[in-house]
Each structure stands twice: as structure tokens, then as C-alpha cells.
């Protein structure tokens, strides 16, 4: 594994398991088995490490979701698949909640490139939901479609947090049922 990959992999594991503030540069250097000069040659600051971590998480999420959803039809089936994917992540990974939300809560004053990555990722989720709400209910006016999009988005986001807090898939399962009810 190349130096950059070792640093990125170690950073991702530590930021997700311990949090951004609890993870120090020296710990990343030690656990990645790299020289301090090598780390700083590739990443000039901890903020650059954070941005890289978030960019990798976003890219990986979309790549894995695309593979998971396969040829799922547009509309309600795709929205169901979004909730199914969240349950899949909870079941197959050491789920501690959404990586992006965890960072946003840990660093509420976050600004700059890392904040932009978080916002763009969450905007992508909103756009995905909006596209499939409109595909499922093409006759809705713009305001009604926007309201349903926000409802589904909040069910999706809230269910992830509740699933982590309760250590259960139930909040996601219930949110998925509510989403189906509201879109019926």
C-alpha cells in the first residue's frame, strides 16, 4: 500500500472511530507507519486530512450505493432502496452514525473546504430524494414536491441518528414505512 493510501486509510479509521478532535497527527503518523515529513508532504495540515477523508467518504458512499441499487426503477423503489442501503451499512459496518453529521456536530464552526464537502454530499442526497419523489408523484406542484422531499430527507437523516443511538434498525424500518405512507 502506498504512503498516501496508508495515511488516508488510517485517518479514515481514526476519525470515524475516535472523532476528529480526539485524533492527533502523531497518532496518524504512528499507526500509518509513515514519517512526519511524508505526511506533511502529502497533507499540509489536519484540515487537509479532514477534507480528504470527507471527499473519500463521499466518493465511496456514492460508488457503493450505485452498486447496491443496481437497476432499481425510479421513484418509490429507489427511495426504498436508499433506506435499505442505510440498513445495509448499519448491519455490515461498525456503524457510528453518518460520517458527515458526526464531523458537523464535532466541529460546529467548521468552514472552508471540508464544510463544502459535507454540504455538497448532503445536497446530493436531497437531490436524489427530490428526483425520485417527483418521479413517483409527477403531478405534484413544485411546493408539494419540495415539502415531500424535505419530509423524506428528514426521515432518512433522523432515522440514521436514531439507529445509532438505539443500536437498532427499527428507526430506519419505521422511517421507511412512514415515507411510503406519505408518498402513497
Please compute the mean of the pLDDT values over residues 93-105 and round it to a whole number.
90
pLDDT band at 61 (very low <50, low <70, confident <90, very high): very high
**To which CATH superfamily is domain 51-183 assigned?**
Tetracycline Repressor, domain 2 (1.10.357.10)
- The owner of cell 465511496 is 60
Rounded CA gap, 147 and 123, in Å?
15
Of the candidates 94, 96, 68, the residue with the CA atom closest to the CA atom of residue 80? 68
Longest dimension (CA), the chain: 59
Cα torsion 147, 151, 153, 154: sign: positive
- What stretches of 93-141 show up as alpha helix (H) in DSSP? 99-106, 113-136
Which pLDDT band, with edges at 50, 70 and 90, does 1 fall under? confident
Residues in the chain: 184
Stretch(es) of the chain classified as CATH 1.10.357.10: 51-183
Domain with CATH 1.10.10.60 in the chain: 1-44
CA–CA separation, 16 and 95 (whole Å): 9
pLDDT at 111: 85
Average pLDDT score, the chain: 95
Question: Does 94 have pLDDT greater than 90?
Answer: no
CATH topology of domain 1-44: Arc Repressor Mutant, subunit A (1.10.10)
The predicted model gives 143-167 an average pLDDT of 96
Give residue for cell 448532503.
122
Q: What is the pLDDT of residues 8-57, one digit of tens each?
A: 999 999 999 999 999 999 999 999 999 999 999 999 999 999 999 999 99
What's the whole-number mean pLDDT along residues 142-148?
A: 97
For the chain, give me the number of helices (H) and strands (E)? 9, 0
Measured CA angle at 92 (ends 89, 97), to 5 deg:
45
pLDDT at 70: 97
Distance CA 15, CA 49 (A): 10
Provide the pLDDT confidence category of residue 65 given band limits of 50, 70 and 90: very high
- Residues 134, 132: Cα–Cα separation, whole Å: 5
pLDDT of residue 161: 94
Q: Is the pLDDT of residue 179 over 90?
A: yes
pLDDT attached to residue 110: 79
Taking the C-alpha atoms of residue 58 and residue 96, their distance in angstroms, rounded to an integer, is 16
Amino acid at each position: 500500500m502506498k504512503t498516501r493510501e496508508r495515511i488516508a486509510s488510517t485517518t479514515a479509521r481514526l476519525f470515524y472511530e475516535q472523532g476528529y478532535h480526539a485524533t492527533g497527527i502523531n497518532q496518524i503518523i504512528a499507526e500509518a507507519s509513515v514519517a512526519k515529513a511524508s505526511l506533511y508532504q502529502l497533507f499540509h495540515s489536519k484540515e487537509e486530512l479532514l477534507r480528504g477523508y470527507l471527499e473519500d467518504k463521499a466518493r465511496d458512499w456514492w460508488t457503493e450505493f450505485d452498486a447496491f441499487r443496481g437497476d432499481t426503477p425510479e421513484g418509490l423503489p429507489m427511495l426504498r432502496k436508499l433506506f435499505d442501503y442505510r440498513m445495509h451499512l448499519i448491519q455490515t459496518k461498525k456503524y457510528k452514525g453518518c460520517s458527515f453529521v458526526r464531523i458537523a456536530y464535532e466541529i460546529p464552526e467548521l468552514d472552508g473546504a471540508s464544510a463544502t464537502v459535507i454540504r455538497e454530499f448532503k445536497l446530493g442526497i436531497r437531490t436524489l430524494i427530490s428526483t425520485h419523489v417527483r418521479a413517483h408523484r409527477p403531478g405534484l406542484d413544485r411546493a408539494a414536491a419540495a415539502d415531500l422531499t424535505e419530509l423524506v430527507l428528514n426521515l432518512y437523516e433522523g432515522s440514521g441518528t436514531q439507529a445509532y443511538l438505539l443500536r437498532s434498525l427499527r428507526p430506519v424500518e419505521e422511517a421507511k414505512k412512514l415515507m411510503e405512507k406519505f408518498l402513497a
